[in-house]
Amino acid sequence: MRSYSIQVANWRDYAQLTLLERACFPPEDLWPFWDLIGTLTLPDMVRLKAVVGVQMVGFIGGQRDENRGVGWVTTLGVLPEHRRRGIALTLLEHCEQDLNLPIIRLSVRASNRPAICLYERQGYTIINRWEKYYVGGEDALVLEKQR
């Protein structure tokens, strides 16, 4: 039995999502206020949180492009002290199910080997490289999974 639950997130989760982002990502990768609020409120967005007690310990966002049959995983983070427990995998699986599209894509820092390994184990393959995508000039890898 797992020690966390997966729940739909909403605007009331903004403060905890901000704390989670700060713990998971470098300052230059933090999303601005309006991007976080949009993820938590806009239609056709998947927004799921992993919760232990009352604390958000993980979050995933996804966006549908039904015209193209493509879903995008827009963000995925798990608090460092809760990693290696299957939370990211569970969030990813739930997001894929909720997106419910034949193609799922995501982008990740080229240096983020743990994330890339997780995605590849789940059937994602690298389809593109966006050069100097991140602040500081690091490339992003674009991965895709066909369902």
Q: What domains appear along the chain, each with residue ranges and CATH number? A: 5-105 (3.40.630.30)
- 91 vs 57: CA distance, rounded Å: 11
Spatial separation of the C-alpha atoms in residues 144 and 123, rounded to whole Å:
8
What pLDDT digit, counting tens, does each position of 77-103 carry?
999 999 999 999 999 999 999 999 999
Which residues of the chain fall below pLDDT 50? none
Count other C-beta atoms under 10 Å from residue 38's C-beta: 16
pLDDT score recorded for residue 109: 95
Instruction: Tell me what pLDDT residue 1 has.
Output: 65
Interatomic CA distance for residues 1 and 12, integer angstroms: 27
Q: What is the pLDDT of residue 90?
A: 97
C-beta of residue 10 within 8 angstroms of C-beta of residue 94: no
CA distance 6 to 76: 13
| CA–CA gap between residue 84 and residue 106 (Å, rounded) | 21
